[in-house]
Amino acid sequence: MKYTIAIIGQSPASDGYIPLIKAVLDKIAQKRGVCFELEPHAIGDIFTPAEPAAKMDSVKSAHAILLGSINDGFADFLYTNLIKAFGLHTKICHFLGVDTKTAEPVDFYMVSDALGGIYSGSNGFRTRQPFGREAFDEDCYGELEIERTARIAYELADIDGASDPEKNGGEPSSWRTLSLVDKASKLNTSKLWRKIVTDINEDYLSVHLDALETGDFIAKMLSENVGLSQDVLLCARQFADDLSSVAVHALHLVPTALPVAYVGDTPLGVYGRMSYLANDLTGLMLSVALMLRHSFNMGSEADNLLQAISKAKACSTSEQFICEILKNLN
């Protein structure tokens, strides 16, 4: 089986990270009996300011899309246009690393919708008495919009299915946790999110569902580092950016090293990093691990790569980093 990965960057021909990615993927492919073909694409070959989707055909045939070395200013532009073009409705952030202040390990996912809610609803200006001109933004969600993102979060929380309460004496402490963070006390959309996510919980017996208001969750994270013990966080799009920022600062993480994925109803996904303010090979390789898990259904290979990355983090050069990863891939 041959898998094609489109790598989008500003100057792919001179991107020194691409041969390093290829070396890692080649070793994984050899063990799995598949082939990964990397197709570099310059941003200008796919997008133009006047017609942002005019040349999208060049990456439509890929099995996955990986963002390589780009300037931070291009990241939002690429993510926005790619997720709309391919209907990638769910965003996954993997908060993985070490709290640089406490040295405690951090490992949890944050899942949110990527196409719905207040940023995609009707908006504009109108005149209404007695206050005159007003602005409005409409926040709407359909049941199926919520369900498709919620199921991705549940699948992450239930990734090995090993904590079925029927096999563990029904002890909640042995379950994996999905925390829904919302404003159900204030917003009808959050009430619907809570109902749908609660109903779906019946299909995932090994996942313990917890629901928290956004303010309560932020307070707990700031005071108790609650994110350290969570498996998966789920929230609507409008809360995701603020919760991500709080997590980065409360847990003292480096955003350039945090991988991000946009996924949908097919294996195709877009993979990159939370921030491109600096090049970060660790973050790029963590994105590759997300890609292996979600686009290629290679969970064990993704776990193996994550372990190898963890062992290689002390390396001082990119070449040493990759060599150490290759040594620890098995």
Q: Considering only CA atoms, which of 90, 79, 11 is closest in space to residue 272? A: 79
Structure tokens belonging to residue 176: 């994996």
Reduced to 3 states (helix: H, G, I; strand: E, B; else coil), residue 124 is strand
Question: pTM of the full predicted structure?
Answer: 0.90
Measured between alpha carbons, how far is 325 from 330 in angstroms, rounded to an integer?
A: 10
CB atoms within 10 A of CB 50: 6
pLDDT of residue 168: 47
- Examine residue 12 and say whether the peptide bond preceding it is cis (omega within 30 degrees of 0): no
Q: Considering only CA atoms, which of 305, 294, 326 is closest in space to residue 109? A: 294
82 and 272 in contact (C-beta within 8 Å)? Answer: no
pLDDT of residue 163: 43
260 and 272 in contact (C-beta within 8 Å)? Answer: yes
pLDDT of residue 162: 45
Amino acid at 224: E
Please report how many Cα atoms fall inside a 13 Å half-sphere around the Cα of residue 306, on the Cβ side: 19
260 and 234 in contact (C-beta within 8 Å)? Answer: no
55 and 20 in contact (C-beta within 8 Å)? Answer: no
pLDDT of residue 295: 96
Q: What is the pLDDT along the chain (330 residues), one digit of tens a residue?
A: 999 999 998 887 768 899 999 999 999 999 999 999 999 988 887 776 555 555 677 788 899 999 988 887 788 888 988 999 899 999 999 998 887 777 888 889 999 999 999 988 899 999 988 888 999 899 999 999 999 999 999 999 986 554 454 544 445 444 578 999 999 999 999 999 999 999 999 999 889 999 999 999 888 887 765 555 568 999 999 999 899 998 888 888 888 889 999 999 999 999 999 988 877 899 999 999 999 999 999 999 999 999 999 999 889 899 999 999 999 998
Beta bridge partners of 8: 41, 67
57 and 24 in contact (C-beta within 8 Å)? Answer: no
